[in-house]
Amino acid sequence: MPDLISRRRPAVPIAVKARVFRDRLEEEFKVTVARARRQFAATRGKLRQEAREARERLKSEIEQATADLKTGVARAAGRVKSTRHRLEGEARLTAAKMKLRVAKAKSKAKQAADKLEDEARFLRTWIESPLKTGAVSPSGPDLAREMARHVDPQMPGLVVELGPGTGPVTEALVARGVAEQRLVLIEYDSDFCRLLRERFPRATVLQGDAYAIAETLRGHVHDRIAAVVSSLPLMTKSPRERLGLLRQSLALLAERAPFVQFTYAAASPIPLREGGFYAEPGRRIWKNIPPARVWVYRQA
């Protein structure tokens, strides 16, 4: 019995048990707290990393958006600028076209007014001295061109025009390429001379008698002349006077150079029977009022 009793383990006091239990709990608590702390630290680091990354992403997205916006704004500004330039260019072009149209209209109106004034001036001169003026209106552009066509602008020497009036043939000669300073204009009427000096300031205008051409040109011509272009009303003069004019002119002209004359008459205004020169009739200019024909005379 006593053996039985002595073999029984001695009873552990409850206080010891409690201490052991408490110590174990404390130990477990510490381990749990340490694990929780580690987990917390790891989670916090991860979250911080994620936050950093999110911030970086956001920053780069904002930068990209800002750059895109800037590019968009620059493109829009470029488009606005180019549109403005295009519109300004178009506006300038339209303005220039309008100016040109206005200038053309003005010039047409001026031409029409000048033509009308020339007609009136011509008619006045014709009323005052019909035989000298020889026509009631200036030659039309077709006749003037046909006269000028027989003048070679390349041939050296002066070009002498007889009876230029208000200048339609003179204008055609200049348009043909005869330099204005090569022109000598012999006109009887003082008003026409004043007008010619205004219209052809570089030409030489001589107020004088074309039938005395050699005398009128004295001191003004030093070489053979390239052409004589005459609108004189020859038919108001005697055949002898007409022939005299041609002979004087041919003596002043270079070899093969033309004496050009228009006439409303059907036949040559210079009597042909005398000979000593070539005479060549041109086609009749029906558009002129009255219709006229150009004759060209050269030395034989």
Ligand X SMILES: C[S@@+](CC[C@H](N)C(=O)[O-])C[C@H]1O[C@@H](n2cnc3c(N)ncnc32)[C@H](O)[C@@H]1O
User: Which one of 150, 168, 217, 259 is in contact with ligand X (CB under 6 A)?
Assistant: 168
User: Which one of 186, 246, 270, 285 is in contact with ligand X (CB under 6 A)?
Assistant: 186
d(CA 297, CA 299): 7
Q: Which residue number, 6 or 112, has a Cβ lying nearer to ligand X?
A: 112
Closest by alpha carbon to 211, among 178, 176, 187?
187
Three-state SS at 21: helix
Q: How far is the CB of 133 from ligand X (least distance, A)?
A: 5
Q: Is 126 exposed, middle or buried (0-12, 13-18, 19+ CB in 10 A)?
A: middle
Concatenated DSSP letters of 78-114:
HHHHHHHHHHHHHHHHHHHHHHHHHHHHHHHHHHHHH
User: Which one of 200, 211, 295, 297 is in contact with ligand X (CB under 6 A)?
Assistant: 211
Segment near ligand X (CB under 6 A); pick from 55-63, 103-111, 203-211, 271-279: 203-211
Give the binding-site size for ligand X (rule: CB under 6 A).
22
Q: Does 138 bind ligand X (CB under 6 A)?
A: yes
Q: Does 269 bind ligand X (CB under 6 A)?
A: no
Closest by alpha carbon to 237, among 215, 201, 261?
261
Q: Does 189 bind ligand X (CB under 6 A)?
A: yes
Long-range contacts formed by 30-34: CB under 8 A, 24+ apart: none
d(CA 230, CA 245): 10
The conformational region for residue 120 under phi > 0 = left, psi -120 to 50 = alpha, else beta, is alpha
Segment near ligand X (CB under 6 A); pick from 83-91, 126-134, 176-184, 220-228: 126-134
Segment near ligand X (CB under 6 A); pick from 164-172, 173-181, 217-225, 269-277: 164-172
Segment near ligand X (CB under 6 A); pick from 105-113, 197-205, 208-216, 268-276: 208-216
Residues in 224-253 that interact with ligand X by CB under 6 A: 231-233
Q: Which residue is listed with tokens 């001191």? A: 219
Q: Which residue number, 76 or 131, has a Cβ lying nearer to ligand X?
A: 131
Q: How far is the CB of 163 from ligand X (least distance, A)?
A: 2
User: Which one of 148, 151, 169, 285 is in contact with ligand X (CB under 6 A)?
Assistant: 169
Look up residue 222 and give its amino acid.
H
What is the contact surface with ligand X in residues (CB under 6 A)? 132-135, 138-139, 163-165, 168-169, 186-189, 192, 209-211, 231-233
